[in-house]
Amino acid sequence: MKQVELLAPAGNYEALEGAICAGADAVYLAGNRFGARAYADNFTEEELCKGIRMAHIYGRRIYLTVNILVKEAELPELVTFLQPLYEAGLDGVIVQDLGAVQVIRRYFPHLPVHASTQMTITGPEGARFLKEHGICRVVPARELSLPEIKEIRDRTNLEIECFVHGALCYCYSGQCLLSSLIGGRSGNRGQCAQPCRLPYRVNGKKPSDIMSLKDLCTIEYIPDLIEHGIDSFKIEGRMKQPAYVAAVTDTYRRY
């Protein structure tokens, strides 16, 4: 059986330590800019560089989320933001915005770029387009079936990273406008108000959480996931407490 990466989330430095101690092969996290979880504790530049050094001591990898839609005026700031992390040995960035991809490829040509699930890649043609633009790994849309994921893997030979555990968004792979409309906070700018977790009244009936999805849990499907070519098992949870991150990571590591 091939070696599959176990990828854990970290919303703060304690969660990063917990994930590594629990057996994560890699950890994804965000700095204080450009991440899709603006309300997590997130990491300062100093903490990110320290975390990269610590992870590398243990032979683990750190991926930085740059997974919001980046405004044109912010692109020069993105370069400044990434420079010290690149020099510290950052192992990859997870990106949603194609403009950000182009800037990262130009200024940091040796930095691996992963396509965020919010790019909504649903088939081989979209994945092939990204490969031509320097993407080395795709996090496909979460709504795909295993055969559809395997087709992307087989026809592009790109690495595939898939969510295996945690909260799910009710809309198509995170492409949500409801937060902006109801709460005035854009999910695509890292400020989701989570309107799908609120109770709603339908046709005069008692309010219920009709849009709040159950958490994903794929432990019983691990052999199928591996068989269909998935390279990285991703746990959701950058807003979760360190104890949760460590416990879930440990459970998947055991299986």
pTM beyond 0.75: the answer is yes
The DSSP annotation for 174-210 comes to: G---HHHHHHS--GGGT----GGGS-B--TTPPPB-T
Burial of 23 (0-12, 13-18, 19+ CB in 10 A): middle
pLDDT at site 36 = 59
* Dihedral sign for Cα atoms in the order 148, 154, 156, 158: positive
Tell me how far apart the alpha carbons of residues 97 and 112 are, in angstroms, rounded to a whole number. Answer: 15
- The partner residues of 95 in beta bridges, in order of sequence, read 66, 115
Report, in angstroms and rounded to the nearest whole number, the Rg of the chain calculated over CA atoms: 18
Question: Residue 227 corresponds to which amino acid?
Answer: E
> What is residue 130's three-state secondary structure?
helix
Span 22-79, pLDDT tens digits? 999 999 999 988 765 666 677 999 999 999 999 999 999 999 999 888 889 989 999 9
Q: What is the 3-state secondary structure (H, E, C) of 40-106?
A: CCCCCHHHHHHHHHHHHHCCCEEEEEECCCCCHHHHHHHHHHHHHHHHHCCCEEEECCHHHHHHHHH
What percent of the chain is helix, strand and coil (3-state, nearest 5)? Answer: 45, 15, 40
pLDDT at site 37 = 64
Tell me how far apart the alpha carbons of residues 119 and 136 are, in angstroms, rounded to a whole number. Answer: 14
Extract the tokens encoding 78: 């993105």
Extract the tokens encoding 193: 């108000």
pLDDT along the chain (255 residues), means of 10: 89 96 97 70 91 98 92 92 97 95 96 95 96 96 94 97 90 77 75 83 90 91 95 94 97 96
> What is residue 113's three-state secondary structure?
strand
Task: For residue 238, give every residue at least 6 positions away whose Cβ sits within 8 Å of its Cβ, in sequence order, or none.
Answer: 9, 10, 11, 15, 28, 29, 30, 37, 40, 65
- What element of type H or E holds 246? helix 242-254
pLDDT at site 39 = 61
pLDDT at site 229 = 94
pLDDT at site 4 = 96
CB 10 within 8 Å of CB 19: yes
pLDDT at site 168 = 84
